[in-house]
């Protein structure tokens, strides 16, 4: 069974649309994250939740809204998509000190 | 945010050891040094981590300088499956909680030649 699973794996959408990416972990971890990897392969943290509570918000535009219905899930909703949002988004979970990443969702905005 | 500096790329021959260097001159006392690797079209994968002492596990060894301003990831015998981007990362604690965040650098692309 996949430890951290994201859906969908690929997402192609038009500018201005609203989309969501779902993430689930079956590791029993308390902390979950969203990371963004841009075209230059830089990985940057966006958000972190600990037991459904927002802990880290790295000055991400408020078009991005994470939602954690329970500690096993952390979904990412993006409003009014822009071309610059095209990237690979990774969900991750952690029981310190290590972090387990999902396989990523490649978002392409056209 | 604390940053790391790595060579953009390195090459190795199969079955030979590989030493991947990393500089982190702005590291603070509570920052852990982590190494992750990313194979094509996959998420980053944990390799090893340490604070002050050298560390060994089944995947690799981590040598940390005495002043902690640099470290080296050692793959003892490179295989073709080790070809990946290797990230040297500082895990920075957030506030007073134990929640940490990984600050990724640009990584080193390792090519392994048969």
| B81: CB partners within 8 A, 6+ apart | none
As a dihedral over the C-alpha atoms of residue B81, residue B61, residue A36, residue A72, rounded to 10 degrees, the angle is 100
Cβ neighbours of B85 in A, within 8 Å: 41
Q: Which pLDDT score is estimated for B2? A: 56
Q: Which pLDDT score is estimated for B98? A: 63
Contacts made by residues A56-63, CB under 8 angstroms, sequence distance 24+:
A56/B94, A56/B99, A56/B101
Is the model's pLDDT at B99 over the cut of 90?
A: no
Are A69 and A62 within 8 A, CB to CB? no
- Cβ-in-10-Å burial (0-12, 13-18, 19+) of A10 comes to exposed
The percent of residues in chain A predicted with pLDDT above 70, rounded, is 98
Is the model's pLDDT at A101 over the cut of 90?
A: yes
Q: What is the pLDDT of residues B29-65, one digit of tens each?
A: 888 999 999 999 899 999 999 999 999 999 899 999 9
d(CA A93, CA A100): 5
The percent of residues in chain B predicted with pLDDT above 90, rounded, is 72
The alpha carbon of residue B18 and the mean position of all alpha carbons in its chain are separated, in whole angstroms, by 12
d(CA A102, CA B11): 28
Cβ neighbours of A97 in B, within 8 Å: 32, 34, 49, 91, 100
- pLDDT band for A19, please (50, 70, 90 cuts): very high
Are A93 and A71 within 8 A, CB to CB? no
Mutate to test the interface with B, among A96, A97, A100, A103 (most CBs of B within 10 A): A97
Is the model's pLDDT at A77 over the cut of 90?
A: yes
Average pLDDT of the segment spanning A15-32: 96
Nearest to B99 among A31, A40, A41 (CB): A31
Is the model's pLDDT at A16 over the cut of 70?
A: yes
| A16: CB partners within 8 A, 6+ apart | A80, A81
Nearest to B43 among A94, A98, A101 (CB): A101
């Amino acid at each position: 069974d996949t430890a951290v699973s994201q859906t969908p794996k690929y997402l192609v959408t038009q500018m201005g649309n609203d989309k969501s990416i779902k993430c689930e972990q079956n590791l029993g971890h308390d902390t979950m994250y969203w990371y963004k990897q841009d075209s230059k392969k830089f990985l940057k943290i966006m958000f972190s939740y600990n037991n459904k509570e927002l802990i880290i918000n790295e000055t991400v535009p408020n078009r991005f809204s994470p939602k954690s219905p329970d500690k096993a899930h952390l979904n990412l909703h993006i409003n009014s998509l822009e071309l610059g949002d095209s990237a690979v988004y990774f969900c991750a979970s952690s029981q310190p000190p290590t972090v387990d990443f999902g396989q990523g969702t490649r978002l392409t905005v056209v | 945010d604390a940053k790391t500096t790595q060579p953009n790329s390195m090459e190795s021959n199969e079955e030979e050891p590989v030493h991947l260097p990393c500089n982190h001159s702005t590291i603070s006392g509570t920052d852990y040094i982590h190494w992750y690797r990313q194979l094509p079209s996959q998420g980053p994968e944990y390799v090893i981590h340490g604070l002050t002492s050298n560390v060994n596990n089944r995947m690799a060894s981590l040598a940390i300088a005495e002043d902690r301003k640099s470290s080296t990831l050692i793959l003892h015998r490179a295989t073709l499956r080790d070809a990946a981007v290797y990230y040297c990362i500082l895990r920075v604690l957030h506030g007073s909680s134990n929640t940490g965040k990984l600050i990724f650098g640009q990584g080193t692309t390792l090519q392994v030649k048969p």
